[in-house]
Amino acid sequence: MLNAKCVFDVTQVKNYDQEQGKIWLIGGTTESRLIAQAIDRSDLSAIITVATPTAKNLYPAEFKVRVGCMDLQTMQKFCLREKIIALIDASHPYAVEVSQNAIATAKANNIPYLRYERPSLREMGRWGDGEMGRINNTVINLDSFEDLLTENYLQGKKVLLTIGCKNLHLFKSWHEKAKLFARILPKPESLAMAIAAGFTTERIIAIRPPISPELEKALWQQWQISLVVTKASGKAGGEDTKRKVAQELGIPLIIITRPQIIYPQTTDCLDEAIAFCHKHLSG
């Protein structure tokens, strides 16, 4: 049975110490679920927040999770109201605004901050020699979507975009220059954003990861894809699968690297994250 202290709504838990400080876990990723479960096993007091109802489904039903977006001012008020004494940011690697606001909130409220992030394939030691090194000859790494769209990478290509729905609008003017396909999550809002960005329904596939190498390969072949654009999502986001399929089919893979954010403190080690919680709760 999971411990009920991993909650958001403290009023729903009997005998909860309202004066006790709490860890704030900014979640929404598979990594954050692991942290939440480890915090729970350690009998630590934590509050979990996510941006969307879909992200809430990552966690066991026994966990109480707050759903909703917060701006900087809301975050600062939240920390004061909930007596937050330390913050673990395990949001998506591309949720730049969330992390920037969390860092600013921690600094303003004098709260210790820890960034927990999935390792990139470079950090996992899979870049250079061996299999990943051989795959590298099909990969183009770019720093931003602007770098992609200001050059001639897409012209005349059949392009599969596996970049999420929020960036699809950037490609709206490219429908006449290339044949674009989008892979999105199976959510009404994602479909609406893809259609608004000019994608017709026959050029949209809605599917939830993880995607097997066999299915990934079949999708690229079905659409006769000649170029794939993705983000540096690490193994958890299927980046390694796309690299392998790109190599096997000889299809160029453009990877948009992660945003460069200066974090006060980072880790990709679960034990370090839990030690961080123990340190500041015991203090």
Confidence (pLDDT) at 119: 66
Q: What are phi and psi of 216, to 5 degrees?
A: -55, -50
pLDDT at site 121: 55
Q: Which range, of 14-23, 69-78, 211-220, averages the lowest pLDDT?
A: 14-23
Residues 168 and 182: beta-carbon distance below 8 Å: yes
**What whole-number distance in Å separates Cα of residue 118 and Cα of residue 199?**
31
Q: Can you give the pLDDT at residue 120?
A: 62
pLDDT higher than threshold 70 for residue 92: yes
| pLDDT exceeds cutoff 50 at 9 | no
Closest listed residue to residue 24, CA positions, set 71, 90, 73, 117: 90
Task: Give yes or no for residue 236 having a pLDDT over 80.
Answer: no
State the pLDDT at residue 99.
94
- pLDDT averaged over the chain? 85
Higher model confidence: residue 16 or residue 29? 29
CB 227 within 8 A of CB 159: yes
Whether this model's pTM surpasses 0.75: no
Chain segment 170-200, per-residue pLDDT in tens: 999 999 999 999 999 998 999 999 999 999 9
Length of the chain counted residue by residue: 283
Domains, in order of start, for the chain: 10-119+261-282 (3.40.50.720), 130-256 (3.40.50.1380)
Q: Give long-range contacts, CB 8 A cutoff, 24+ apart: 189-197.
A: 189/165, 190/165, 193/165, 193/166, 193/168, 193/169, 194/165, 194/168, 196/169, 197/168, 197/169, 197/171, 197/172
- SS3 state of residue 184: strand
**Positive or negative CA dihedral for 116, 121, 126, 131?**
positive
Predicted local confidence at residue 137, as pLDDT: 57
Per-residue model confidence (pLDDT) at position 54: 83
